[in-house]
Amino acid sequence: MVGILTLVTGWPGPSGFGSASTAEMVTDGIDASNLTAIVTGGASGIGAETARVLALRGAYVIIAARNMDAANNAKQLILQSNPAGRVDVLKLDLCSFKSIRTFVDNFNSMDLPLNILINNAGVMFCPYQLSEDGVEMQFATNHLGHFLLTNLLLDNMKRTAKDTGIEGRIVNLSSIAHLHSYEEGIRFDSINDEARYHDKRAYGQSKLANILHANELSRRLQKDGANITVNSVHPGLIMTNLMRHSFYLMKVFQFLTYICWKNVAQGAATTCFVALHPSLKGVTGKYFLDCNEMAPSRLARDETLAKRLWDFSEQLVNQG
């Protein structure tokens, strides 16, 4: 169990890594040159660092981002430090089902295999608003968008894993904030209820959904015999653009809890560890913090809730 002491001190856990480990440290010596990866939200923050380190290890990286100027800038920064890097950018707006389907069509037209999918992008603590498909924005972007994207890319991932014999890996970025969802976990009957909307609880709900999605998909892929693992991670507390809607509040919180915060290189470590490290071969349906497996909340481990969320999500994306 990774506790507050290891978080504060950076002492490594059973994996040999801890809160002080960086993405470069946890992937040192790993050759990913035969892998293709998609990183959503790879234009900034820990997504950009994840894309950089995957490319540094040789992977062909597709940065999927809404802001194409930022995505191209991230690509150029990667290539400046790593001229041999293989990086491309594709537009993806996760709060639009149409954009997601267009992204998948564009990716498929490149005729590439797909080994790794990093569901990293998201919004946080935003004021109440609906996506273009009529769903509360945090749930739509953080969960539904990645749910649809993953489903549309699964056939490619299954085919790649079968043809190459290389295990595919899907990583959902969740958060310790999943502990602070609404009381019932997921508000299936009032997902768009503006009167009862709470920006922090809604974020927690979407992060709980990320874990439930990963766990249910893991079970389904195991049942199908697919050579693909699905895990979720909490990257840690990192001050990035994700916190722009609560910047001053989070700066105060950061000041009061400064010993618990990470830099971007440390924040991308758990994602890169779960995506690439050979010690996690065959490990699926787990939740990781500071590069070590942890037990998520009781609601996050609820298989009935996960199945209900899957059916609910399918209904929403199919009507969009």
Cβ atoms within 10 Å, residue 98:
11
Q: Could you tell me which residues are beta bridge partners of residue 185?
A: 182
Separation between Cα atoms, residue 22 and residue 53, nearest integer Å: 10
Do residues 217 and 170 lie in contact, with contact meaning Cβ atoms separated by under 8 Å? yes
Q: Report residue 121 as tokens.
A: 């992008």
Contact 85, 79 (CB under 8 A): yes
Nearest CA among 182, 280, 268 for reference residue 230:
280
Task: Check: CB of residue 149 under 8 Å from CB of residue 105.
Answer: no
Separate counts of helices (H) and strands (E) for the chain? 12, 8
Is 62 within 8 Å of 38 (Cβ atoms)? yes
Active site residue 197: yes
Q: Residue 261 and residue 253: Cα distance in Å, rounded? A: 10
The Cα 268–Cα 61 span in angstroms is 15
CA 312 remoteness from chain centre: 20
Q: CB burial class (10 A; 0-12, 13-18, 19+) of residue 245?
A: middle
How many residues are there in the chain?
320
User: How far apart (Å, rounded) are the C-alpha atoms in residues 244 and 30?
Assistant: 34
Query: Which two structure tokens, joined as six digits, stand for 246?
Result: 């609560």
Contact 229, 169 (CB under 8 A): yes
Q: Which two tokens stand for residue 238?
A: 């990192």
Catalytic-labelled residue, pool 182, 197, 203, 258: 197
Residue with tokens 């830099």: 263
Q: Which residues are catalytic?
A: 197
